[in-house]
Structure 1
Amino acid sequence: MGGREVVDLDRAEAMRLVAEAPFGRVVFTRNALPAIRPVNHLVDEDGVIIVRTRLTARLTGAVAGNSPVVVAYEVDDIDPVRRIGWSVTVTGLARTVTDPVRVAHYERLLRPWVGRVMDTVVAIEPEIVAGVRLLARHRR
């Protein structure tokens, strides 16, 4: 098995891959330490990442209040055998969506993937988007 070539993705391509992926991992702060939760998501027409969670979830507690909170969001699709694929990390500001019209809109579009009530919508506005594609390096 040869090495891998790492190719940087531009912002548009990275966000397109995030939008096409079914789930990712949100990274937030819990008790001054990093915490990670897998979630499903959608990317809205403005490029904002939308996730649904529970009012009692740790993520909701981290973004509660009027001030946005910095989070990271990671999405990838890497073949574990061939070791090729892509990975994107988005860093941005997360806020709880409170407008009832927007909440209802996102609730219609984004169905939870777990069997729990998801009564809170969180929006992540991408500030920093970094992505790479892992390609097989062909021997000559």
Structure 2
Amino acid sequence: MVEPHPSGGYILEELSVGMSAEKRVAVTEERIAQFAEASDDFNPVHMDEAFASRTAYRGRIAHGLLSASFGSAVVGTILPGAGAIYLGQTLNFHKPVRIGDVAVARVTVASIDEAAARVVLSCTIHVNDELVMDGEATVRVPRRRRPAKS
């Protein structure tokens, strides 16, 4: 596991396939309410226990994109960190995340395209060691600055 880079972000030349980082995030009532407000997604399966208890989930679940955002937090703050720009993301949801769960978001460098300064990251979210979400992110990563020509 890597820690955040002292500068805030890893540059392309510092990355290698297999590097991983993770973040643990508690899923709370407050986070769900804040995400609903930010996204304008007030689906009652996320907000209303009486409604949600009558669904296949038998209770409220967190927004899928709230869980996915925990992976985004790893990408933006740890690996690669500051300066990384999302170009694309695939997401596969396997199980619901609920209030009280602790989600563990892990990002692993899967491949590096040095010519394009792009990195493919394997992204997973686990709750109690069970996979709840996975996918791949493609990000652009800053390079080492080249010296100015004289």
More helix by share: 2
Task: Output the TM-score relative to the length of structure 1.
Answer: 0.32
Indicate the structure whose relative CO is greater, using CA pairs within 8 Å and at least 6 residues apart: 1
More strand by share: 1
